[in-house]
Amino acid sequence: MYSRMMQRYKLTIAYDGTNYAGWQVQPGKTTVQGEIERAIEQLTGRHVRIHHSGRTDSGVHAKGQVAHFDLKEPVDIGRFINGVNAMLESDVRIMKLEKVRADFNARYDAVSKEYRYFIWNGHAVPPELRLYRLHERRKLNIAAMCKAAEQLVGKHDFAAFTANPQREIEGTVKTIRKLTVSRTRAGDVTICVTGEGFLYKMVRSITGFLLRVGIGELTPEDTRRFLKTGVRTNEVPTVRALGLFLWRVDY
């Protein structure tokens, strides 16, 4: 329970998830949460548990992950950020630290999250992007992908778009506020999805579905079929993690 003697802080965190077994602490594995908690303990001499806005899986990246934690002793914001970052590997960085109200909760106060999935649609991925793009050589029909994406916006049962519907103890109905597909430059295609919350591997499953629409293996009209049946089949693949970024969390 929060003590009046404690100050709550909000962290904004960016990371390259390539070398991590996801966000959440796991015994015997290197995780983003574990490394940040280790760095804070080294700096302050106190073990601090940080609470996230949402877990990311192994290999998933973040530009704007958010977490909160409590400390008894006041800290200098700039020195704290510099001190923690100095103890982290260069693929994890604290981008911002803010004092927040005592009852702020990084997970439950979030009103929406934005994820972006990046695809390289060309013959060869530029080497500097190889860890951050899914490679699809076949030409994508962006207009068809957009038509399918439009039908996923709103409140639906997304059971057909989660890797394990049985694990969703709070149900499989979610609301997508915005879902766009765009070709941002030659070769680069971005899928941007904003929602109140997401199911297990839901964004990667939506991306897999939209890719199949883009290459002509499925049609935009198949969207309603999957939403109606609510059954996960191998028609909806879960794409690899490397192209996925937790882009921002809004409060």
Please identify every stretch of the chain with a pLDDT value under 50, giving residue numbers as ranges.
Answer: 1-3
Q: What is the per-residue pLDDT for 168? A: 63
**pLDDT tens per residue, range 132-149:** 999 999 999 999 999 999
Q: What is the per-residue pLDDT for 166? A: 64
Strand partners, 29: none
**pLDDT tens per residue, range 53-107:** 999 999 999 999 999 999 998 899 999 999 999 999 999 999 999 999 999 999 9
Q: What is the per-residue pLDDT for 165? A: 62
Catalogue the active-site residues: 57
- DSSP secondary structure string for all residues of 32-81: HHHHHHHHHHHHHSS----EESS---TT-EEEEEEEEEEESS---HHHHH
Place of tokens 């971005």: 190
- Strand (E) or helix (H) holding 228: helix 222-229
Q: What is the per-residue pLDDT for 164? A: 76
Pick from 219, 238, 195: nearest CA to 145: 219
Pick from 161, 169, 166: nearest CA to 227: 161
DSSP state of 234: T
Q: What is the per-residue pLDDT for 1? A: 42
Q: What is the per-residue pLDDT for 205? A: 98
Place of tokens 């806005």: 53
Rg (CA), the chain: 19
Q: Which domains does the chain have, with CATH numbers?
A: 7-100 (3.30.70.580), 112-250 (3.30.70.660)
Q: What residues contact 100, with CB distance under 8 A and at least 6 apart?
A: 8, 9, 10, 68
The dihedrals phi and psi of 86, each to the nearest 5 degrees, come to -65, -25
Q: What is the per-residue pLDDT for 145? A: 98
d(CA 143, CA 141): 6
